[in-house]
Every structure is written in structure tokens, then in C-alpha cells.
Amino acid sequence: MDEQENLEAVMGLIMYGGNAKSDAMEAIAAAKKGDFELADQKLKDADESLNHAHHSQTGMLTEEAQGKHMDITLLAVHSQDHLMTAIAFKDLATEIIDLYRRLDEK
């Protein structure tokens, strides 16, 4: 990967991670209002964004495994942090939505 491709991959992680986190937050808000159909759609959207982010990350890891090392910059570290936070947030959102479903059933 050249420098431009690295930057695009890093920015992809940040963008898709941010989208996933936003979708997960919107899913919680929808569940809080009792709109579980929208909550489920937003979780699906979050998963789609996470899949895109994973593709960017996999490309970076593949290049690294092939001996094509990239410079570790603050931006690269930030992108990984963004992705991991989004994954954790989406997992937590799923649990919160399940709790709202249980409360709604009572």
C-alpha cells in the first residue's frame, strides 16, 4: 500500500467506525421509544458499516503480513481506537435494546 492507500484505509476505519457508532446510538434511541423495527434496522446498518471497516482493516493487516509495513501514525492509532470503540458500543447497544424489549413485553 502506498501512502495514499494507507490514508484512505485509515480514514475508512474512522468514517465507518463513526457511522457504526452513530447507528448504534440511534438504535438505542429508537428502542427507548418502543420502535424496535427501526432499532433493528439501525443495528443492521451498524453491522454493515463495521463490515466495511473490517475490510479496510483486513487490507492493512494483509499488507503488513506481506512485509509492506506502514508508518504508525497518531491517525492510524486513532482509526483503530475508533473501530474498537464502535464495535464495543454496538455490542452494548444490542444488550440495551434487548432490555428495552423485555420491558416492553411486560
Residues contributing to the annotated binding site for Mg(2+): 81
Catalytic one of 52, 54, 55, 78: 78
Binding residues: 81
Q: What is the 3-state secondary structure (H, E, C) of the chain?
A: CCHHHHHHHHHHHHHHHHHHHHHHHHHHHHHHCCCHHHHHHHHHHHHHHHHHHHHHHHHHHHHHHCCCCCCCCHHHHHHHHHHHHHHHHHHHHHHHHHHHHHHHHC
52 tagged catalytic: no
Question: Which of the residues are catalytic?
Answer: 78
